[in-house]
Amino acid sequence: DTAVSQTPKYLVTQMGNDKSIKCEQNLGHDTMYWYKQDSKKFLKIMFSYNNKELIINETVPNRFSPKSPDKAHLNLHINSLELGDSAVYFCASSRVVSGGAGAQYFGPGTRLLVL
């Protein structure tokens, strides 16, 4: 069974389009995250949700809107896609959000290419 899954795996689209990436975890975790890995392989946190509430928004443009319909899902909607949005987007989850211990479990990534 896949612990953290993302769909789609690949996404190729035109500039200006709106697209969504879905994430689901079956680990029973309370906290979910979105990370972005750019072309230089630099990984950076975008959002964090705990019990469906937003905890972190790391100065991400308003065009990115996460939505958490329930604790097991955290979707990412992107409006008016730009060339610079091309990256790999990873979803992750963890049992708790606070404290220094605890592992995060990552999905396989969604490779977004904006043309």
Partner 1 sequence: DAKTTQPNSMESNEEEPVHLPCNHSTISGTDYIHWYRQLPSQGPEYVIHGLTSNVNNRMASLAIAEDRKSSTLILHRATLRDAAVYYCILRSGSSNTGKLIFGQGTTLQVKP
Secondary structure of residue 100 in the 3-state scheme: coil
- Residue nearer to partner 1 on the CB measure, 38 or 82: 38
Q: Which of 19, 9, 2 is nearest to 72 (CA)?
A: 2
Instruction: Give least dist CB 15 to partner 1, A.
Output: 25
Assign residue 27 a region: left if phi > 0, alpha if psi is -120 to 50, beta otherwise? alpha
Tell me if 54 contacts partner 1 by CB under 8 A. no
Contacting range for partner 1; rule: CB under 8 A; set: 16-24, 62-70, 71-79, 87-95: 87-95
Q: What are the backbone dihedrals phi and psi of residue 58, each rounded to the nearest 5 degrees, phi first?
A: -85, 70
- Residue nearer to partner 1 on the CB measure, 5 or 65: 5
- Residues numbered 9 to 28 that lie near partner 1 (CB under 8 A) are none
Residues forming beta bridges with residue 53, ordered by sequence position: 50
Reported residue count of the chain is: 115
The two beta strands, 105-106 and 4-7, are unpaired
Instruction: Give least dist CB 57 to partner 1, A.
Output: 11
Tell me if 64 contacts partner 1 by CB under 8 A. no
Instruction: Give least dist CB 96 to partner 1, A.
Output: 7
Tell me if 44 contacts partner 1 by CB under 8 A. yes
One residue of 7, 13, 56, 72 binding partner 1 per CB under 8 A: 56
Secondary structure of residue 1 in the 3-state scheme: coil
